[in-house]
Structure 1
Amino acid sequence: MKIIRFINEGLSQLAAVNDEGQIFVLLQSDFLALIQEADEKEISPLELVLKMIEGREALTCQVDQLELLVPIEAPEVWAAGVTYERSRDARNYEATEGRLDALTFYDKVYDAVRPEIFLKSTAARTVGPGGEVQLRSDSVWQVPEPELGLVLNATGKIVGYTIGNDMSCRDIEGENPLYLPQAKVWKRSCSLGPAIRLAETVDDPYNLQITSRIYRNGEKAVEGTANTNQLKRKLDELTEFLIRDNELFDGTVLLTGTCIVPPNEFTLAHGDRIEIEISGIGKLVNHVVGAGS
Structure 2
Amino acid sequence: GDLLAPVDAAQEVWAAGVTYLRSREARVEESQSKDLYEKVYEADRVEVFFKAIGWRVAGHGEAVRIRRDSRWNVPEPELTLVLNGAGDIVGYCAGNDMSSRDIEGENALYLPQAKIYDGSCALGPGILLADPDSLVDLPIRMSIRRGGAVAFQGETSSAQLKRSLEEIAGWLTRELAFPDGVLLMTGTGIVPPDDFSLAVGDTVRIEVGELVLENVVER
Shorter-chain TM-score range: over 0.9
Q: Which has the higher contact order (CA 8 A, sep 6+)?
A: 2
Q: Distance in 1 between matches of 2:100 and 2:31?
A: 12
Distance 1:92 1:103, change over 3 A: closer
Cα RMSD between the aligned structures? 1.5
1:25-70 CA-partner distances (Å, limit 9, x unpaired): xxxxxxxxxxxxxxxxxxxxxxxxxxxxxxxxxxxxxxxxx65221
Supply the AA of the counterpart residue of 1:204: S
SS of alignment partner, residue 135 of structure 2: coil
Residue 73 of structure 2 corresponds to 142
Contact 2:80–2:185, Cα closer than 8 Å, also in 1: yes
Instruction: Give yes or no for the alignment of 1:89 onto 2:25.
Output: yes
Q: Distance in 1 between matches of 2:138 and 2:5?
A: 21
Contact 1:73–1:251, Cα closer than 8 Å, also in 2: no
Identify unmatched segments of 5+ residues in structure 2. none
SS of alignment partner, residue 261 of structure 1: coil
Identify unmatched segments of 5+ residues in structure 1. 1-65, 97-101
SS of alignment partner, residue 70 of structure 2: coil
Residue 77 of structure 1 corresponds to 13
Instruction: Give yes or no for the alignment of 1:223 onto 2:132.
Output: no
Instruction: Give yes or no for the alignment of 1:171 onto 2:102.
Output: yes
Which stretch of the first structure deviates more once superposed, 246-255 or 271-280? 246-255
1:166-209 CA-partner distances (Å, limit 9, x unpaired): 00000000000110100100011000001211114x75211100
Supply the AA of the counterpart residue of 1:104: D
Contact 1:225–1:260, Cα closer than 8 Å, also in 2: yes
SS of alignment partner, residue 28 of structure 2: helix
Q: Report the CA distance between 1:71 and its aligned residue.
A: 2.1
Return the index of the structure with the highest Cα Rg.
1
* Residue pairs, 1:230-249, within 5 angstroms: 230-249=160-179
Instruction: Give yes or no for the alignment of 1:262 onto 2:198.
Output: no
Q: Report the CA distance between 1:246 and its aligned residue.
A: 1.0
Residue 194 of structure 1 corresponds to 125
SS of alignment partner, residue 286 of structure 1: strand
Residue 68 of structure 1 corresponds to 3
Counterpart among 196, 214, 217 of residue 285 in structure 1: 214
Contact 2:3–2:62, Cα closer than 8 Å, also in 1: no
Q: Distance in 2 between matches of 1:192 and 1:103?
A: 30
TM-score normalized with structure 2 length:
0.95
Q: Distance in 2 between matches of 1:111 and 1:103?
A: 13
Supply the AA of the counterpart residue of 1:255: M
SS of alignment partner, residue 73 of structure 1: coil
TM-score normalized with structure 1 length:
0.72
Residue 134 of structure 2 corresponds to 204
Q: Deviating runs (4+, > 3 A) in structure 1? A: none
Identity %: 52
